């Protein structure tokens, strides 16, 4: 494997302004310490190297090098690294863009239990007009307690997007999101109360309070 740290720092030194040289030594030492740990199997250090070269806070941004380190960590089941690899494939940073690869790595992270990955898969599916897939991932994240996903799956039930139209479940999911202080969910829920009436809303709230709906959510608790 090529020494990615030394290669990147060579480019950094060649093209940096003179006043940056002093700082470059400290940054180089940090990167080389992390690289030594990474090469000895420290996955956290491997991920940190990806961050170091992708953020450009201490060294010049190098997306190719960042991608290599993130990919190395992702292949060792680091969920955060999987998400970074997915992001870079989606944006075409450090690697040729590929929605297929971005989806693959997001799915790997989702299978490891990442709610963030599930929500991202839901959003990615929308951009491809795969609404049933989007609903699947939003519901999965919502069941795990993700507020954004709760609001989105509620909206899907309200509009019949990717799922069967169901105002009861729409209100129930909004209710769970509202309990987590989601203001957007509260606004949308109030709209439903105006449409259906307070008595109807109270009945649904009672079902939620008694852990009856949404069934998938309460089955996990």
Tokens describing residue 115 = 């709610």
Strands (DSSP E) along 120-164, which ranges?
none
Contact of 35 with 49, CB cutoff 8 Å: yes
Contact of 138 with 152, CB cutoff 8 Å: yes
Cis check for the bond before 173: say yes or no (omega within 30 of 0): no
Tokens describing residue 126 = 């929308």
Is CATH 1.25.40.10 the classification given to domain 1-105?
yes
Domain limits of the chain? Answer: 1-105, 142-221
Per-residue pLDDT of the chain (221 residues; tens, 9 = 90+): 445 555 455 454 444 555 455 566 777 888 889 999 999 999 999 999 999 999 987 788 999 999 999 999 999 999 999 999 999 999 999 999 999 999 999 999 999 999 999 999 999 999 999 999 999 999 999 999 999 999 999 999 999 999 999 999 999 999 999 999 999 999 999 999 999 999 999 999 999 999 999 999 999 99
Contacts of 181 (CB under 8 A, 6+ apart): none
Residue 13: predicted pLDDT: 44
Signed CA dihedral, 147, 150, 154, 160: sign only: positive
As a 3-state breakdown, the chain gives helix, strand, coil percent values, each rounded to 5, of: 75, 0, 25
Distance (Å) of CA 221 to CA 95, 110, 115, 168: 41, 20, 17, 20
CB atoms within 10 A of CB 116: 17
Residue 22: predicted pLDDT: 52
Taking alpha carbons only, the member of 97, 123, 98, 128 closest to residue 110 is: 123
Radius of gyration of the chain (CA): 23
pTM of the entire structure?
A: 0.84
**CA distance linking residue 171 with residue 174, whole number of Å:** 5
**CA distance linking residue 127 with residue 198, whole number of Å:** 35
Residue 9: predicted pLDDT: 52
Contact of 128 with 120, CB cutoff 8 Å: no
């Amino acid at each position: 494997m090529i020494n990615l740290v030394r290669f990147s720092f060579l480019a950094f030194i060649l093209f940096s302004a003179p006043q940056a040289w002093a700082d470059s030594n400290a940054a180089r030492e940090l990167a080389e310490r992390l690289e030594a740990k990474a090469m000895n199997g420290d996955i956290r250090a491997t991920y940190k190297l990806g961050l170091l070269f992708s953020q450009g806070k201490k060294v010049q941004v190098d997306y190719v090098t960042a991608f290599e380190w993130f990919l190395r960590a992702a292949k060792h089941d680091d969920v955060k690294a999987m998400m970074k690899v997915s992001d870079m494939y989606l944006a075409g940073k450090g690697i040729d863009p590929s929605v297929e690869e971005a989806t693959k790595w997001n799915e790997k992270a989702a299978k490891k239990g990442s709610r963030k990955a599930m929500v991202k898969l839901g959003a990615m599916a929308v951009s491809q007009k795969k609404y049933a897939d989007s609903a699947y991932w939003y519901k999965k994240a919502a069941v795990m307690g993700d507020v954004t996903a709760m609001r989105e799956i509620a909206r899907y039930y309200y509009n019949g997007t990717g799922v069967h139209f169901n105002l009861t479940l729409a209100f129930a999911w909004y209710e769970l999101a509202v309990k987590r202080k989601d203001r957007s969910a509260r606004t949308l829920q109030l709209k439903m109360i105006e449409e259906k009436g307070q008595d109807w809303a109270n009945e649904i709230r009672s079902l939620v309070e008694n852990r009856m709906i949404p069934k998938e959510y309460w089955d996990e608790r």
